[in-house]
Amino acid sequence: MKILGIDYGDARTGLSVSDATGLLAGSPSVIAEWNHDKLLDKLTAFIRDNRIEEIVLGFPRNMDGSEGPRAEKCRALAAELEARTGLKPVLWDERRTTVEAHAILHSAGKKEKKHRQNVDAVAATLILQGYLDFRRTRG
């Protein structure tokens, strides 16, 4: 089962696809798109072309667990993706994934200026791997 992890952003949206067994997150990529309708078109095509069977959408919560305006944008994207693909996205807590992604890139020797190009893809991979680990341990 191929599962897509998404780190939704206004300018860049990170993607990561699981292996066929649904155990490992990989294939990180980024869609650079400001226009919401074009982003939806690109996501829908990606889901179709890659035969995605499940979607995990990073869901931003504040550190106290409350939801802000960004969370509402993610709920709206989830509803739009479901309407277009028939797949109901799982909203997955993404707290601290961007911070962790920056730390991973830094420890890999990437220059700070280059983080912006890759951080969303790394964050999507962290979101997806967290979900896959949860599924595996839950039985």
Containing structural domain, residue 89? 3-138
Tens digit of pLDDT for each residue in 80-102? 999 999 999 999 988 666 666 55
Q: What is the CATH number of the domain that holds 81?
A: 3.30.420.140
9: left (phi over 0), alpha (psi -120 to 50) or beta: beta
How far is 35 from 128, CA to CA, in rounded Å?
24
The reported pTM is: 0.86
pLDDT tens-digit map of 24-68: 999 899 999 999 999 999 999 999 999 999 999 999 887 787 888
Q: How many separate domains does the chain show?
A: 1
Contact of 91 with 75, CB cutoff 8 Å: yes
